[in-house]
Amino acid sequence: MRYDFIMDPIAMLRELLAAAPFKPFVLCLSDGRKLPVRHPDFLTLSPKGRIIWEGEADDEFAMAMPYHVTGVEHLRRRRRAA
């Protein structure tokens, strides 16, 4: 499923991060990047509206302004090896 940002992207992200249970999602940016948010701790929203994403690798991070958010997609869960 994909959300389009008709409403305020920050409000939508806060809603997604606070969902219980949390559902992983992908944050889509205007430059084509897709940032997977597998846990709410991977995405931070600053008081001034900056979006700060941290990936799973130690040196993997990104920052963006809300107007660069083009959408959100639900992240499919990884299949565990048998």
- pLDDT tens digits for 23-78? 999 999 999 999 999 999 999 999 888 999 999 888 999 999 999 999 999 987 76
In this predicted structure, the answer to whether residue 79 has a pLDDT above a threshold of 70 is: no
CA atoms within 13 A on the CB side of 1: 4
Q: Within 13 Å, how many C-alpha atoms sit on residue 6's CB side?
A: 2
Query: Average pLDDT in the 11-16 region?
Result: 91
What domains sit in the chain, N to C, each tagged with a CATH number? 2-74 (2.30.30.100)
DSSP class of 78: P
Residue 2: per-residue pLDDT: 53
Please, what is the Cα angle at 49 between 39 and 38, to 5 degrees?
A: 10
Round to whole Å and give the CA distance between 38 and 26: 8
